[in-house]
Amino acid sequence: MKINKLENWNLQESNPLIIAGPCSVETPQQLEKTVEVLVNNGIRIIRGGVWKPRTRPNSFEGVGSPALSWIRDIKSKYGVKFAIEVASPQHVEEALQAGMDILWIGARSTVNPFTVQEIANSLKGVDIPILVKNPVNPDLALWIGALERIHHAGIDKLGAIHRGFSNFNDEIFRNSPTWQIPLELRTRYPELPLINDPSHICGRRDLISQISQMALDLNFDGLMIESHIDPENAWSDAAQQLTPYALSELLNTLETRFPTT
Ligand code: PEP
Ligand code: MN
């Protein structure tokens, strides 16, 4: 794969790349309050779920399209970039129309080659970064296959997000990190930016710092971390979200790079 280097993605971002924001966009107020504090603490790329793939029905499934106009307002008011998940060509079309800066494919979509191919087809001619989360199951070939499908559609600002793998009896993590899988991906595609998502690995906020540090020690290129102004009352993933204040403290305590000499 011929990948465009992260430095050329025009994100004007820090090294490591930090993407932070709520699991789900819930209300205009929740979004703005969260973004305001994140921005005051130096975060320039916000994440937020618009369409949410929930495990069980009758959970909050995202605000959907109306959230896109709230995001547009926030982007112009705060000058931030915004990343959202897309799971269908319809999502891609709406997200592009609303001016989203980064799109990602979620773990439940990556497992399905039909879905990934449909999304890939809808991305032809698109020049924004596309990130592909690992599939929910620990299958490196499936992750690579999804990345290849997106790459074959002409996307060269391509990256991978490591969000851990489903398990039945891991006592600690919501999704086992199984670090050897992303590390093997990097061995095969050293030019592919690799971002760690400690929030979905941990499933609980007290572990996020240690997984983030581990990712940086392993030279990951960035972190995507969920942050919500009022995590306890979040409409999804309440146990793993950090307040923007706690996130800022956490980032300040991380050792970003070991000396290379
Ligand atoms: C998310 O990022 O909120 C999400 C649903 O993630 P995943 O696809 O990793 O489960
Ligand atoms: Mn989430």
How much is the ipTM here? 0.98
Provide the pLDDT for residue 256.
84
Average pLDDT for residues 33-56, to the nearest whole number?
97
Q: Residue 209 domain-assigned?
A: yes
How far apart, in whole angstroms, are the C-alpha atoms of residue 246 and residue 261?
32
Q: Residue 4 domain-assigned?
A: no
Instruction: Assess whether pLDDT exceeds 50 at residue 261.
Output: no
* Cβ contacts of 174 within 8 Å, gap of 6 or more: 164, 200, 201, 202, 203, 204, 240
How far apart, in whole angstroms, are the C-alpha atoms of residue 106 and residue 133?
5
How far apart, in whole angstroms, are the C-alpha atoms of residue 101 and residue 80?
9
Which three-class secondary structure string do you get for 79-126? CCEEEEECCCHHHHHHHHHCCCCEEEECHHHHCCHHHHHHHHHHCCCC
What DSSP state is assigned to residue 142?
H
pLDDT digits (tens, 9 = 90+) for 94-127: 999 999 999 999 999 999 999 999 999 999 999 9
Ligand whose nearest atom lies closest to the CA of 86? 1
pLDDT band at 15 (very low <50, low <70, confident <90, very high): confident
Q: Residue 14 domain-assigned?
A: no
Average pLDDT for residues 163-186, to the nearest whole number?
96
Q: Residue 182 domain-assigned?
A: yes
Mutation probe of ligand 1 site: the residue of 26, 85, 136 with most atoms within 8 A of C-beta: 85
252 neighbors 225 (Cβ within 8 angstroms): no
Q: Residue 155 domain-assigned?
A: yes
The CATH number for 200's domain is: 3.20.20.70
Q: Name the residue with the closest Cα to ligand 1, atom 6.
A: 106
Which atom of ligand 1 is nearest the CA belonging to 164?
Answer: 9
Instruction: Assess whether pLDDT exceeds 80 at residue 259.
Output: no
Which three-class secondary structure string do you get for 172-213? CCCCECCCHHHHHHHHHCCCCCEEECHHHHHCCHHHHHHHHH
How far apart, in whole angstroms, are the C-alpha atoms of residue 41 and residue 104?
24
Average pLDDT over all residues of the chain? 96
Provide the pLDDT for residue 135.
98
Structural domain that includes position 133: 20-253
- Quick check: helix, strand or coil at residue 253? helix
168: nearest Cα among 160, 156, 176:
176
**Strands 130-133 and 17-21, bridge-based pairing:** unpaired
Confirm whether pTM is higher than 0.95. Answer: yes
* Cβ contacts of 218 within 8 Å, gap of 6 or more: 179, 183
Burial of 212 (0-12, 13-18, 19+ CB in 10 A): buried
Which atom of ligand 1 is nearest the CA belonging to 110?
Answer: 8
Centre of ligand 1 from the C-alpha of residue 54, in Å: 9
Q: Residue 177 domain-assigned?
A: yes
Instruction: Assess whether pLDDT exceeds 80 at residue 13.
Output: no
236 neighbors 23 (Cβ within 8 angstroms): yes
Q: Residue 159 domain-assigned?
A: yes
% the chain with pLDDT above 90: 94
Centre of ligand 2 from the C-alpha of residue 200, in Å: 6
* Cβ contacts of 14 within 8 Å, gap of 6 or more: 42, 44
Provide the pLDDT for residue 258.
55
pLDDT digits (tens, 9 = 90+) for 144-171: 999 999 999 999 999 999 999 999 988 8
Q: Residue 12 domain-assigned?
A: no
20: nearest Cα among 5, 36, 6:
36
Q: How many domains is the chain built from?
A: 1
Average pLDDT for residues 194-217, to the nearest whole number?
98
pLDDT digits (tens, 9 = 90+) for 207-255: 999 999 999 999 999 999 999 999 999 999 999 999 999 999 999 999 9
